[in-house]
Amino acid sequence: MLDACSTAGSAKANPFDTARRQLDAAAEIIGLDAEVLELLRWPMREMHVTIPVKMDDGSVRAFHGFRVQYNDARGPNKGGIRFHPDETIDTVRALAAWMTWKTAVLDIPLGGAKGGVICNPKAMSPGELERLSRSYIRQAGRLLGLTKDVPAPDVYTNPQIMAWMADEYSFMQGHNDFGVITGKPLALGGSAGRGDATARGGIICIREAARMLGIDLLGKPAAINGYGNAGAFAHKLAVELLGMKVVAVSDSKGGIINPDGLEHTALTEYKKRTGSVAGFPGSTPITDAELLELDVTVLIPAALEDEISCRNARNIRARIVAELANGPTAPEADKVLQERGIYLIADLLCNAGGVTVSYFEMVQNASGWYWEEEAVHRQLEKKMTAAIRTVHQTAGQYGVDNRTAAMIVAIRRVAEAMKLRGWV
């Protein structure tokens, strides 16, 4: 009998095509009005910019960047800024769409946006990165503001880059306006608890999924594909909060495995010193393809898009797949995982801890009242727990996979806001 992947190709999917296919599938199930669907299939606005940057050798190089504001029916746009050599406008469009659904599924009053610059930050000096960051804000700043669109860190950007951007925007406004950016350092109005928020939200989802499935996570193995901020914190919190054993991790330069478990502090210090997890003492090498197919209780894709597809979906052996990355699973692979009884926690929900605490940061910036870290964790716990239970219930109600259930929850909320505002 043919499965969901039998007629699909093996080439990597266009991420914006994937995002719209996910939208179309959920819209068909709930009978969404055609005019609403057509509006939701496209960004409301987008900006393409050319960014001149003076390099350390005295030359001037032109970089190309984007800012996509997908839908702001529920509130100001929200979404990160990525620096990546393979950035494309369709990737940014897809990520802006997913951010729209993400804020809606968490029921926070924001829309969705995303920005990106085509560059290789690993090959740039701190001075070059600062000049690029400031120049990007000079170009895109007219679209930004606490009531319009608030960026945050994303792939290969960090709190220091956010600080430069907030400073440049403040200079453009003629007064301090640090609320235009979240994920900032604490000294510039950042929020306690923002650093590990994406991972912490994902770990809460894993815990709740395991409870609903009757899985005991204590001492069970986990593997993490991607060891940036989210992946590294997921390693730490999976051990501390769930009592799991992380046996394999990978980054852009290689992967490692140790069946007895990898010690988080030693590994993060090793990566900081060498630039990669590869070669960590006491481990053996493993490829990304091998890591994804390990026999583990929890698999955490925390890298880039399209890691799980028709190439490997039949070989995934994890009980739970928790998407800390954006778009790591192709639509056909979703169906295969569901058919095989693998519980997938979709990115729209699993990695939404970051945008949720960014929203808390916006609230704190607007009020001038800053919360203790315990309060941030407590509010994040409430939001993530309520969201995964709603998605789980919706999946059961409609007999669909969890991603489609999350989409149903999200698009209903966005569509309701659009109708109330008279857009359709």
Domain ranges across the chain: 46-180, 191-423
Segments in 214-301 forming alpha helices (H)? 229-242, 264-274, 288-292
Annotated binding residue 358: yes
Q: Please return the burial class of 269, using the count of CB atoms within 10 Å of its CB with bins 0-12, 13-18 and 19+.
A: exposed
Residue 344 · residue 318 · CB < 8 Å: no
The CATH architecture to which 191-423 belongs is: 3-Layer(aba) Sandwich (3.40)
Question: Can you read off the two tokens belonging to residue 267?
Answer: 């590994």
Q: What is the pLDDT along the chain (424 residues), one digit of tens a residue?
A: 445 565 555 566 788 998 999 899 999 999 999 999 999 999 999 999 999 999 999 999 999 999 999 999 999 999 999 999 999 999 999 999 999 999 999 999 999 999 999 999 999 999 999 999 999 999 999 999 999 999 998 889 999 999 999 999 999 999 999 999 999 999 999 999 998 999 999 999 999 999 999 999 999 999 999 998 899 999 999 999 999 999 999 998 999 999 999 999 999 999 999 999 999 999 999 999 999 999 999 999 998 777 888 889 899 999 999 999 988 888 888 889 989 999 999 999 999 999 999 999 999 999 999 999 999 999 999 999 999 999 999 999 999 999 999 999 999 999 999 999 999 9
Residue 201 · residue 173 · CB < 8 Å: no
Q: In a 3-state reduction of DSSP, which class is residue 115?
A: strand
114 counts as catalytic: yes
Q: Which fold has domain 46-180?
A: Rossmann fold (3.40.50)
Annotated binding residue 229: yes
pTM, to two decimals: 0.91
Handedness of CA 390, 396, 400, 402 (dihedral sign): positive
CB burial of 134-143 (b: ≥16 within 10 Å; e: otherwise) equals: bbbbbbbbeb
Distances (CA, A) of 232 to 223, 245, 277, 303: 11, 14, 10, 11
Annotated binding residue 102: yes
Question: Can you read off the two tokens belonging to residue 389?
Answer: 């239970």
Domains 46-180 and 191-423 agree in fold? yes
Catalytic residue among 114, 184, 335, 383: 114
